[in-house]
Amino acid sequence: MKSDGIPATVCQERRKDPIEMFHSGQLVKVCAPMVRYSKLAFRTLVRKYNCDLCYTPMIVAADFVKSIKARDSEFTTNQGDCPLIVQFAANDARLLSEAARIVCPYANGIDINCGCPQRWAMAEGYGACLINKPELVRDMVKQVRNQVENPRFSVSIKIRIHEDLRRTVDLCQKAEATGVSWITIHGRTVEERHQPVHYDAIKIIKENISIPVIANGDIRSLKEAENVWQVTGTDGVMVARGLLANPAMFAGYEETPLKCIWDWVDIALELGTPYMCFHQHLMYMMEKITSRQEKRVFNALSSTSAVLDYLTDHYSI
């Protein structure tokens, strides 16, 4: 597989099947696919704080298949980075199945993005427009199943809901019949951004299918995660912005502990994280523990050494 441009990794945790985790009866805590953010270093951090399953950022399958450079820049992993799901944006079953074949030795499964509401993604035939194309979703799932020989390799989808929930239930039932391993549901429609999440809709969908369901949307603490899990009857919860603000959230911390901040520094420097990403994550983590004046100073820092000096002076442990 070295010819595919991905360094080979061996991970004992690959043997931990996410499907088995979802059937454990325990809350499965999941880090969402976040563009620019849920990369290897951040996944490494949240795993230290009780995150059970991590997704990569969304990767465009066509670029990934056609370019070794894209593979090198978009997908990095290591021995401890598991269980791991690679999320792809795709509108072509053949290209998606080839992308799945490439990542199969290094991940537990792939996820098809059927929920991104951004205009560029929908204009390309990716993301949330796929919730209106169940036949294409079926074809993509089937071709991945045919291409990947490993029967434990999962194929999941992440969706948004329709205004008419019956359409979403129908989509999910068709996906289940096609062989989807589980479904993540963001409880908003494509048009909704900051409106309340429809957890009641997630509950109804869960009651109408037999495969595992992950609830997603506006979960900011472990207590909220446990409440959503109980209310919806789902098998796991997926968190995005809540983990950005507090990577230790799943370990029960109400705000980012200083130990987590220094863990991020160590991990990011060890893995060679670009400065902009390194700094941006710290800005999110320190949002609740810094004053307005401190934010102005910290956010204006322009080098790794300046950040390290600032943290040592203000938060040395």
The reply to whether 279 sits in an annotated binding site is no
Report d(CA 58, CA 88) in Å as an integer.
5
11 assigned to some structural domain: no
Instruction: Show which of 222, 247, 272 is a domain's final residue.
Output: 247
Domain identity same for 67 and 188:
yes
Residue of 126, 242, 141 whose CA lies nearest to 190: 126
Q: Does residue 289 sit in the same domain as residue 217?
A: no
Same domain, 239 and 141: yes
What is the per-residue pLDDT across 116-170, written as a single tens digit (0 to 9) for each? Answer: 999 899 999 999 999 999 999 999 999 999 999 999 999 999 999 999 999 999 9
pLDDT range class, residue 2, cuts 50, 70, 90: very low
Tell whether residue 196 is among the known ligand binding residues.
no
**Do both 134 and 233 map to the same domain?**
yes
Mean pLDDT of 308-314: 94
Measured CA to CA, the distance from residue 281 to residue 244 in angstroms comes to 7
Helix-then-strand count for the chain, H and E: 15, 9
35 is in an annotated binding site: yes
The reply, when asked if residue 241 is annotated as ligand binding, is yes
Same domain, 241 and 262: no
* Chain mean position to CA 109: 12
Residue 303 makes CB contacts below 8 A (sequence gap 6+) with 275
Residue 96 located in a structural domain: yes
**Domain annotation covers residue 252:** no
pLDDT greater than 80 at residue 112: yes
Classify residue 232: in a domain, yes or no.
yes
What are the DSSP calls for 51-70, one per residue?
--EEEPPPEEHHHHHH-HHH
Q: Is residue 226 part of a domain?
A: yes
For the question of residue 116 being annotated catalytic, the response is yes
**Overall number of domains in the chain:** 2
Q: Is the same domain home to 103 and 50?
A: yes
Residues 189 and 93 in one domain: yes
What average pLDDT does the segment 186-204 reach?
95
The response to whether 33 counts as a known ligand-binding position is yes
64 and 91 belong to one structural domain: yes
pLDDT band of 17, cuts 50, 70, 90: confident
In a domain? residue 214: yes
Nearest to 246 by CA among 257, 259, 256, 261: 256
- pLDDT tier at 317, thresholds 50, 70, 90: low
Look up the domain containing 305 and give its range.
Answer: 258-315
pLDDT of the residue at 159: 98
| Statement: residue 12 has pLDDT above 80 | no
Whether residue 83 is preceded by a cis peptide bond, meaning omega within 30 degrees of 0, is yes
119 vs 129: CA distance, rounded Å: 10
| Both structure tokens of 96 | 């998606």
pLDDT at 11: 54
Residue 26 and residue 160 share a domain: yes
> Do 263 and 234 belong together in one domain?
no
DSSP 114: E
Average pLDDT over residues 262-275: 97
Backbone angles phi, psi at 152, to 5 degrees: -85, -10
Contact 176, 211 (CB under 8 A): yes
pLDDT tens digits, 128-139: 999 999 999 999
Q: Read off the tokens for 260.
A: 């987590």
Residues 201 and 286 placed together within one structural domain of the fold: no
Exposed (0-12), middle (13-18) or buried (19+): which is 272, by Cβ within 10 Å? exposed
| pLDDT tens-digit series, residues 214-226 | 999 999 999 999 9
Q: Which of 198, 222, 247 is the last residue of a domain?
A: 247
| Mean predicted lDDT score pLDDT of the chain | 93
Residue 5 inside a domain? The answer is: no
Closest CA to 165 of 199, 193, 125, 126: 199
pTM of this structure? 0.94
Strands 28-31 and 53-55: parallel
Q: Is residue 135 located within the same domain as residue 268?
A: no
CATH number reported for the structural domain that contains residue 33 in this entry = 3.20.20.70
Say if 13 falls within a structural domain.
Answer: no
Which of 214, 247, 280 lies at the terminal end of a domain, its last residue?
A: 247
Task: Find the catalytic residue in 104, 116, 172, 260.
Answer: 116
Taking the C-alpha atoms of residue 250 and residue 49, their distance in angstroms, rounded to an integer, is: 6
CB 113 within 8 A of CB 129: no
Pair 260, 253: CB distance under 8 Å: yes
